[in-house]
Amino acid sequence: MTRPRIGITLDVEPPAPGSAGGLLQIMKLPEDYAKAVAKAGGMPLLLPWTRDVGLQREMIDQIDALLIPGGDDIDPKLYGQSPHPKTKQIGPDRTAFDLAMLSLAEARKLPTLGICFGCQLMNVHRGGTLHQHIPDVPRESPLVHSKPGDRMNAHEVTLQRGSKLAAIMGGGQLEKFSVNSRHHQAVASLGHELVATARASDNIIEAIEDPTLPFWLAVQWHPENLTNTLHERLFEALIKAAGVHKISEPQS
């Protein structure tokens, strides 16, 4: 049986100064995402951005699950706010493409996993809002969610009992575990149909899901960097859900 095909969207950046190619943008992806998908049994397929609606539909028809990876910050106007001085906006082409792919995936009940930026975008897609700069959020016992230059800054999160995430990470028996943390933004108000499934000790939301869909889940941390740990279970669960979808939903 062929591997389930996991579509991964790409980051979009302006060309480097002095680079060949004139005004051509750069599309890229840290290799950890593709490696994590492949190790879990999936076939990673990289999805280049396009505003061609027909091509977007062809892309979604060719995959069995969607993964929205990390990136910079979402334009705050998409959730009704003005930019914070610390907000570093991601390119509009990636944002538009990822939102389009999320809409198509959602309509098909396609298994979807969001990571970091992907988590925030899935919330905004559903009408939710974000904390634009966590250090400015009033908290009783604030954690450091991001340390400059430290990609493995870590803290614990507490799982919501009965959630899909809790079932994935520990069969419903695990209450807390450590995550890596390098984000300065986070989910604030939840989008419609979404529930918070993990929180840090300062009550910052660290994971969300839609319990009405077979697999619509997102985390704020970076499981792709945590090989040979329980975090690989997230990718294994995505591949399993993609395999079920592949069998049960013939492609159009």
Catalytic machinery residues: 116, 222, 224
Give whole-number Cα distances, 125 to 44, 177, 222, 248, in Å. Answer: 24, 28, 20, 26
Q: Phi/psi at 220 (nearest 5 deg)?
A: -85, -20
Strand 11-13 and strand 5-9: the pairing is unpaired
